[in-house]
Amino acid sequence: MHADRDREILIVGAGAVGLGIGSCLIGPERRVRFAARPETAAALRESGLVRSGIFGRVVAKPDAFDAVAGLDALPRRAVDRILVCVKSYDSEAVARALAARPWLLHEQTRIVLFQNGWGNAEVFAGHLPRERVFAARVITGFRRHAANHVDVTVHAAPIHIGSPFGCDAAPLTGLARAIDAGGLPCRIASDITRDLWAKLLYNCALNPLGAILGVPYGALGETAPTRAIIDGIVREVFAAMAAAGYAAHWADADAYLADFYGQILPPTAEHESSMLQDLRAGKRTEIDALNGAVVKLAEKEGIATPVNAALANLIRFLEAKRHGAP
């Protein structure tokens, strides 16, 4: 019913996640366009897009899609779906840029955020109608081998798409089906907020600790000292959630930790933290949207989260050290 509104797709950001999601959507029935950094856009236009990894190999030739150097280079016409695949610290800039280009949006345009962290939807809703803003929960590992080549390394659960503001997600059924048919399992979710908290729990528990210690996720669950830190992270996240009036899919931290060690962690045991990859590359991390966001929320509610605060500060130290700050 909504397939006619999934033909023109703009993907903002062509990092590992943007390339991975985009690889599922390229085809004759849709016009896919990436708004990317100039060097990435040039590589895509010259060599096409390649996806490899656990869901098989996909090669899209350069003439099967389009790539432009940033939002300023977009043709002046509306699109059906805008998939935001930038880092969380770029949310404000991208939200402002989209709001400044109202010609991109028609009545049925929907914006879907394929991002890590907490608070991205609220940033976009601050500049655009919240009934247009949706979120995707992605627990899939992507690694970019080249500007135009992404590898799918691990996959823990289907991508979920839904509204953090209680709006009808049915118009995005066609998009979810297209991503699913393109190789990445994807579903519409009735309660995306709980899904986003589930991902935040996972990322807060593993991302910074894996980055600080320089080990894959599985190693963090193998020893008592690292498990004690993970337990502390999770218990603080649950305390912050409860204080702010949010809920997850689990009744309490104990229930989550039982699932975490028994079911959630094992499928991604070999994956390295994206935060570790960012630090190695000398890039800014998303710590402020992960453990930093938990600390900020907890402070607002008048509770302490010392374990999350310590990890956030350690990552900020490593960021500054890589950038040569004193």
Catalytic sites, residue numbers: 199
- The amino acid sitting at 69 is A
- The closest alpha carbon to 230, from 272, 153, 291, 314, belongs to 291
- For the chain, helix, strand, coil in percent to 5 are 50, 20, 30
**What is the distance of C-alpha 141 from the center of its chain?**
10
Beta bridge partners of 34: 11, 67
291: Cβ contacts below 8 Å, ≥ 6 apart: 204, 208, 233, 308, 309, 311, 312, 315
- The closest alpha carbon to 184, from 65, 53, 273, 32, belongs to 53
- The amino acid sitting at 137 is R
Helix, coil or strand: residue 137: strand
